[in-house]
Structure 1
């Protein structure tokens, strides 16, 4: 049996999308000859899209095999007890050359009842945004099903939805039920529950190369939408150099931001969870004894729950997202 003594990197699973662009290849150096790569699934346990290890003694093993072999040593005893052989998070980078469909995700109970799936609570961290690029998140003011349907039928949804121009470093938390869409020109990191259930409610009357419209989920969405508005949709946070600061904390995941410009020793003895690091700028090296792994912007590593202490050294001033289950 292999030993679990390494940082784990996975082969990105690249997804062509009708709205995808070239930033994942040109800025994040993902390997593809396609010009419409919309998503890079960095760590996935979605059926049919299971991540495969690309480094160390575990190279060639997939995520399901790792969990089956190492259980709580990999994901944490508490996490394993709750989720068993299912990895609970899906980690992505997303490039929207064109706007994504306006959509939402059902909550856990609805997703379980209708699709035998988890719900899909998620968050976004904007890595780069073109001038005037925006995100659609939530309603401008409290709405209701009747008003929503009227605007949907009149193709005037944007009259009642909230649209924010965004910049690098902006964070958005997207609970289930909240209408949202990534606008054209946005590159972001996404952390979410393991689920691929999306209710698409408007797709800009867009047709694919064969003239087909994508499926809409109008009826399914009606009782899944949260019609309440929020005062603001951006997540406010502060950060400190060479220290992890929490930006999102929810029952499904905690995400910290870690700006780093000198070597630091990280200790996760107080956590009973795997820890994922996404490099959102710069480049860093992780080291534990003789074990090392380097992350460049747009790369991701899974630190097994068993590995509690290690050193992170930046090549240049860098920034990481640190993700785990509390």
Structure 2
């Protein structure tokens, strides 16, 4: 079997804070009014993606890795991560504010949860007027001041609020408190992990009338209490070129803003490639086949691919590799 460009069935996640944009704008398979996430490409246990197109349709991502190993992932990726897919790809619709949260680093996550940590990045696809993100603190804190703010219900006064618009990009390293604000639609790229420490949830109740669980004690040893302006990603926006956005130990992300066709030689790339369409539409072709992709869709290209042809009149693609 030749590894043509692979698309996967979306795994939809209903969330207390979710809305209807994923269904209405991207035609995702959801019928609820509180759909918060579309997991596009996942190796998370219990939520493993399945191929949606071509001869491999119905095959799980784990089975693909079992069958094709280095051909799919790349030799260096297999050497580092074995048979675990190291990236989780999502689209997120926040109709309401998400909880204030953070993620542990690899060491803590391994010790406590036998999991990877969770470093992530966000690309803003759409934002209502006045929408913002919470990213970090607005001053350097001591642990006791933070604990007091939880007890006094004043945590929100210590947080940093960032207004956002389409195209804004944020890198969220482990330990940084953060939250997606109401009215934001974004693409998320992250380590394969579902470990989140929730520290404040606006005293909201779930559908059963219960307050959601907080992870106050677990979070204390995981939080970075310092004020750091290290989260906004500045990147070039040259047309019909591959523009670097993020290069971290867990993933590399570029943006490709196209108004004409583009040919890429990826022979030397020892990694799979993921393309998330954040605007427009395109056809992506390798030696073994092609797949159409439109806004809100994702395609996986095997590491064994040498040549990639992107055919389009207009598209913006996020390119993700290891």
| TM-score after normalising by structure 2 | 0.98
User: How far is 1:151 from its partner?
Assistant: 1.0
Q: CA deviation at 1:248?
A: 0.7
Aligned-residue offset at 1:141: 1.6
* Alpha-carbon contact 2:286-2:306 (below 8 Å) kept: no
Aligned to 1:317: 314
Hey, what does 1:303 align to over in structure 2? 301
Distance in 2 separating the partners of 1:262 and 1:239: 15
Q: How many residues align?
A: 322
State the SS of the aligned residue for 1:227.
Answer: coil
* Counterpart in the other structure of 2:253: 255
Helix, strand or coil: the match of 1:238? coil
1:21 to 13, 19, 25: 19
Q: Deviations over 1:262-306 (max 9, x none)?
A: 011011122110000000000000123561100010000000000
Counterpart of 1:43?
A: 41
**Where does residue 216 of structure 1 map in the other structure?**
214
The SS at the match of 1:241 is: coil
Root-mean-square deviation (Å): 1.0
1:57 to partner: Cα distance: 1.4
8 A contact 1:120–1:195 mirrored in 2: yes
Q: How does 1:65-144 map to 2 (within 5 A)?
A: 65-144=63-142
1:232: how far off? 5.4
Per-residue deviation, 1:43: 0.3
**Larger CA deviation: 153-162 vs 197-206:** 153-162
Unaligned runs of 5+ in 1: none
Q: Are 2:89 and 2:190, in contact at CA under 8 Å, matched by a contact in 1? A: yes
What is the CA-CA distance between 1:236 and the residue it aligns to?
1.2
CA displacement 1:4-60 (0-9 Å, x = unmatched): 331111000000000000010011111221111100000000000000001111111
Distance 1:232 1:288 in 2: 36
| Structure 2 unaligned blocks of 5 or more | none
> For the residues of structure 2 that align with 1:280 and 1:320, how far apart are their CA atoms?
6
Q: How does 1:161-240 map to 2 (within 5 A)?
A: 161-231=159-229, 233-240=231-238
Partner of 2:32: 34
